[in-house]
Amino acid sequence: MNKRAFLFLGALLCGAVAFGAPTAARAEALPSNYAKIYVVSGADTDAIVLESVRDGQKVFGVVDAGEDDDAPDGSDPRYPARPGITRGSGITDRVFALLDGLGATADNVEFFIGTHPHSDHIGGADELIERYRPERVYLMPYNDDCVSTPSRLWDNLYVYDQAVAAVESCGAVLVQSFDPAAPVNPGVTTDGDGNVVVDPSPQVGNPRFSLGAMELEVVNYDQDYLSQPKWDANEFSLGVVVSANGHRAFLAGDIDNVDGDEDRLARQVGNVDVMKVAHHGWAKSNTSALMEALDPDMCVMTAPMRTVTPSDALLGWLAGRRPLVQFMDTGTARRAGLDSIIIDLTGAVITNNWPEDADATYVRNESPHCVSIVGGHLKPLVGWHTDPAGNRRYFDDSCFAAESRWVSADGGRYWVDAEGLVASGGTAKMDDGSMRLFDAGGKLVEGSGWKLLSGRYYLLDRDSRVLIGWQRVGGDTYYLDPQTGVMATGWTKAGDDWYWLRPNGARGSGWLNDRGAWYFLDRSSGAMQVGWLNVDGSRYFFDRGTGVMATGWTKVDGTWYWLRPTGSSWGPQGSVGTGWLQDGGRWYYLSGSGAMTTGWQRVGGAWYWLRPTSSPYGPEGSMGTGWLDDGGTWYHLSGSGAMDTGWLKKGGSWYWLASSGAMQVGWQRVGGTWYYLDPKTGGAMVTGTVVIDGRQERFSSSGAWLG
């Protein structure tokens, strides 16, 4: 049996508190109207503690318990390990530390409200219920059929079932639906002996109840989601209105306006002083209509300040509301060393523990990119301010830093870009497409002509605009980088071509020797030349990739050429050679185009043979000498390489070479005389008596046939 329920009902039945002494420590010197709200510091998670006094004793209620470190591992088919489940971000220890530090025990926590089955709200509910054993637990029914979007089921059922199991184990009253006519503490009766009995079945409870000096009302408890599944469980999140001492606070859970809930609540809830904004400040929640209707003076967001939180709509309302709203977020609170944001509803004026100097600005990834927040207030600033990342921002009596416009300050003009950053230390493009130059401090550089900034030269026109691309100045041509406006020097690519700009930026032309390599720059355009090029009557080849002038043997498109390694009387360095070339002790023949020839070549009335491929006898293109077998026919090349014809004496033997140079064999009639060139001896001429084809023949010493 729940001890606190027993004591509570005993007091009602007997009309006296003497039924049993309270176990909670008596609050020391706390007024009867004492009422505080504690929002635990964390990121994208809700845990809110309510503290008040009843009969001189502290009493507590808890709205949501925050994320815990427990998550399904998928071993139970009811609880798949779905993508998107939060792991390792629990704040249970912090929630317990806050409750314990305030004096909460298993005897003075009157209720727990779980706004909806998301782990960032009720992940730690089971542990909190088991530890502090609240009298009543408010948790609307849930199963995964209530959500129509499979990707948004996460571990909803897992955390819900754990919370319900904890309620059953500690004997608390489980309130799962609401009726203004229902009792505050339903399901609690007494047996025949006067003992309190708690009905473990789900109960219908009254949405209005008290916690000491606080009056609470649960809102948004319609249960149409049980028959009409919703896109997300946020669409059936509960909200809680807390009233005390003439003050009102609205704890909005994760309520959104997808199903029109905020439009309805705007009329139902009405004006409040404090609002825990819905769904951590994300879009789809906290519509302008809701914020205008509730019109809170203080807002608490259970998320850090960042691009998506607060949403653009909420940020716009905050910036426009007058007087300014004090806006506090749990991310900043955590950085400031606050375990919780404390809202004190006790006095005539609501107070809080927010540091007056907390965060001067914060930065977002979309417009407005920088927002000024001082002491929790979106506060208009004037002049230059530095954001947390060290960037200068300019505020013109606005909560938002200037973006995409000119700023006049400190006797100069400054440009802030679309992200609100000050252009400085170089060039920046304007919205009209022009480029401007700014010094290291961001001030516009004005005037025309050459400007030196941080060791780089820029060229400005008469309107102080940065010139780019090719520009002709004083008879020379210069190239200004199209992206930065910086004057180029050295090798620079512009379009499809490379150019060389002298150290003073002037474009070079003609021959260029750069670090020992020769290049040729077009005398008109200055473009680096590649491939074959005729210059001053000589032909050169420039590497098609690097533009370097080739020398020595160079293969181009499968053909070898010889480019003079040094200048000589035959031609300048790099020019292509023609005619006979002796290189490495071997002779080559280069055609009129300079191409190295191979095979049979007729030069000066004589035939020469140049090796078509490299072999043990010589490299490709080298001139052959001596005997040559070409396609089964033998030729003889003289020492000069010229092909021999006619009679040839070689190694003491005579050979007959036709006018084609082909060595002849067998019977040959030369000058009216017959000779026999013996195939068996490689075509050597025979003399004396020889048997040929079985017949004896006689030849003179000169080889002439005698019959």
Over residues 593-628, the pLDDT tens digits come to 999 999 999 999 999 999 999 999 999 999 999 999
What was the pLDDT predicted at 374? Answer: 86
pLDDT at 78 over 90: yes
CB 229 within 8 Å of CB 218:
no
Banded pLDDT at 27 (limits 50, 70, 90): low
* Confidence category of residue 483, pLDDT binned at 50, 70, 90: very high
Task: Quote the CA–CA distance of 60 and 37 in Å, as a whole number.
Answer: 10
Residue 139 has pLDDT above 90, yes or no: yes
List the strands of the sheet with 370-374, edge to edge.
208-211, 214-219, 239-244, 247-251, 274-276, 298-301, 326-329, 377-378, 370-374, 361-363
Q: Count of CB atoms within 10 A of residue 450's CB?
A: 13
Residue-wise pLDDT tens digits, 210-243: 999 999 999 999 999 999 999 999 999 999 999 9
pLDDT of res. 347: 96
- Helices (runs of H) and strands (runs of E) counted in the chain: 9, 52
On whether the CB atoms of residues 99 and 93 are closer than 8 A, the answer is no
Mean pLDDT of the chain: 94
Cα 36 from Cα 416, distance rounded (Å): 44
- In the CATH hierarchy, which fold is given to the domain comprising 3-292? Metallo-beta-lactamase; Chain A (3.60.15)
For residue 296, whether the previous peptide bond is cis, meaning omega lies within 30 degrees of 0, is no
How many Å separate Cα 148 from the centre of its chain? 32
Residue 10 reports pLDDT greater than 60: no
Q: How confident is the model at residue 377 (pLDDT cuts 50, 70, 90)?
A: confident
**Side chain identity, residue 423:** A
- Every domain of the chain with CATH number 2.10.270.10 lies at 423-508, 647-699
Q: Is 459 helix (H, G, I), strand (E, B) or coil?
A: strand
Percent of the chain surpassing pLDDT 90: 88
What is the Cβ-side half-sphere exposure of residue 331, based on CA atoms within 13 angstroms?
Answer: 14
39: confidence class by pLDDT, cuts 50, 70, 90: very high
pLDDT at 226: 98
Rounded to whole angstroms, how far apart are CA atoms 500 and 401? 44
Tracing tokens 């499968």 back to the chain, one arrives at 558
- Comma-separated ranges of CATH 3.60.15.10 domains in the chain: 3-292
Question: Is the pLDDT assigned to residue 277 strictly greater than 60?
Answer: yes
- Contact between 72 and 79 under an 8 Å Cβ cutoff? The reply is yes
pLDDT score, position 683: 96
36 and 343 Cβ atoms separated by less than 8 Å: yes
pLDDT attached to residue 18: 30
CA distance 451 to 459: 6
Chain segment 394-410, per-residue pLDDT in tens: 999 999 999 999 999 99
Cα 34 to its chain centre, rounded Å, is: 51
Following CA atoms 196, 197, 203, 206 in sequence, which dihedral angle do they give, to the nearest 10 degrees? -10
pLDDT at 17 (0 to 100): 31
The predicted pLDDT at position 191 comes to: 78
CA distance to 2, 55, 87, 591, 698, per residue, from 354 (Å): 38, 30, 30, 92, 134
Domain 647-699 annotated CATH 3.40.50.300: no
The CATH H-level superfamily of 423-508 is Cholin Binding (2.10.270.10)
- 97's CB contacts (< 8 A; 6+ apart) are 339
What is the pTM for the complete model shown? 0.69
Per-residue model confidence (pLDDT) at position 707: 82
List the structure tokens of 619.
Answer: 């490299």
Beta strands 510-514 and 626-630 are: unpaired
**Residue 138 · residue 216 · CB < 8 Å:** no
Backbone φ and ψ for 313, nearest 5 degrees, come out as -65, -45
pLDDT in the model for residue 119: 98
pLDDT at 26: 52
Question: For residue 118, which of 96, 89, 97 has the smallest C-alpha distance?
Answer: 89
Give the pLDDT score at 22: 35
Phi then psi for 357, rounded to 5 degrees? -100, 15
* CA atoms of 672 and 344, how far apart (whole Å): 139
Omega before 323 within 30 of 0, i.e. cis = yes
